[in-house]
Amino acid sequence: MATNSKQGGDRYLLILDTKRDSSEEKGKIDFLADSYIKYFNIPTGTGGRCFSTRKKDFTKGVFRALDANVLSNCGPTDKLYICGHGNKSECGDHDAKSLAKLLSKAGLKRIGLITFKSCCIGQSDFLDKFMASCGAKAIQMGYAKGYKDSLYANKHPDTDKPISVIGKIKGKTTQQVADSRLKTNTERFKILKGPLADDVQWDDRFLSEAQLQEKLKLNREKEVDKTNKNILGAVNDPLSVDDLPSYDFGMKTVIELS
């Protein structure tokens, strides 16, 4: 799988530590981050684009410390995954304001999409506060995205593509868990638009209902226009039988239409 984002930019990944977490809970974040790193081939190690605030991660040769200016090359077509245990007011050990400060110190100025791979980040007003705090730190982004309920990370059995199951799964059957992935986008996650949104236009999930309808209308008009041009071209430039290859069999001429 290519490392590029859907806009042709780069993918970045950041793990946020939660110091009170047990080893088991930290292991869940490891699994989550590892699935994205491997599937999307996000560069690791020195010069890579995988970062962590957990000191133990620096010894593995995969993650880098979130030092000054390591995110300074991010731009409007790039995507940043933030992985950590979350709730409606925090991701890792950070509230919205302290996270914006952390990213600013790392040199972040512009980014197309910040997507939180965390529980409940989109449930309340965390994203609103985060977007406002980023603005106060002169960080411009296209979109910020967070899930509205608990996140359970998994992988596709055939492709290893990361799968996010949203919602409580305790006591549910396998089918009920599978059905939970059929929720509409607005039920699964919250998306906020930033100042770069109009320039980025990530994909249809990030459009408002009005924008989506306008896009569908324009696409229909383009198809009609294309069809009309094809018809007009056929009328103005009809196929001449004289131009087709033919074979003379005495009394009959057979036109080759292949």
Q: What is the CATH number of the domain that holds 110?
A: 3.40.50
Q: Which residues of 154-163 are buried (b: 16+ CB within 10 A; e: fewer)?
A: eeeeeeeebe
Residues 25-50, mean pLDDT to the nearest whole number: 93
Range of the structural domain that residue 225 is part of:
213-255
Tell me if 179 sits within 8 A of 165, measured CB to CB. no
Q: DSSP assignment, residue 1?
A: -
Per the domain annotation, does 172 fall within a domain? yes
* 192 and 226, same domain (yes or no): no
Q: Which residues of 191-213 are buried (b: 16+ CB within 10 A; e: fewer)?
A: bbbbebbeebbbeeebbeeeeee
Q: What is the mean pLDDT of the chain?
A: 81
pLDDT the model gives residue 181: 57
Q: What is the pLDDT of residues 82-137, one digit of tens each?
A: 999 999 999 999 999 999 999 999 999 999 999 999 999 999 999 999 999 999 99
The CA distance from 111 to 78, in Å, is 6
Q: What residue type is 110 in one-letter code?
A: R
The CA distance from 101 to 97, in Å, is 6
* 29 and 59, same domain (yes or no): yes
Highest mean pLDDT among 151-160, 173-182, 208-217, 242-251: 151-160
The token pair that represents 58 in the structure block: 């620096």
* 179 and 221, same domain (yes or no): no
- Measured over the CA atoms of residue 82, residue 86, residue 91 and residue 95, the dihedral's sign is positive
Angle between helices 96-105 and 126-136 (to 10 degrees): 40
Highest mean pLDDT among 132-136, 163-167, 183-187, 231-235: 132-136
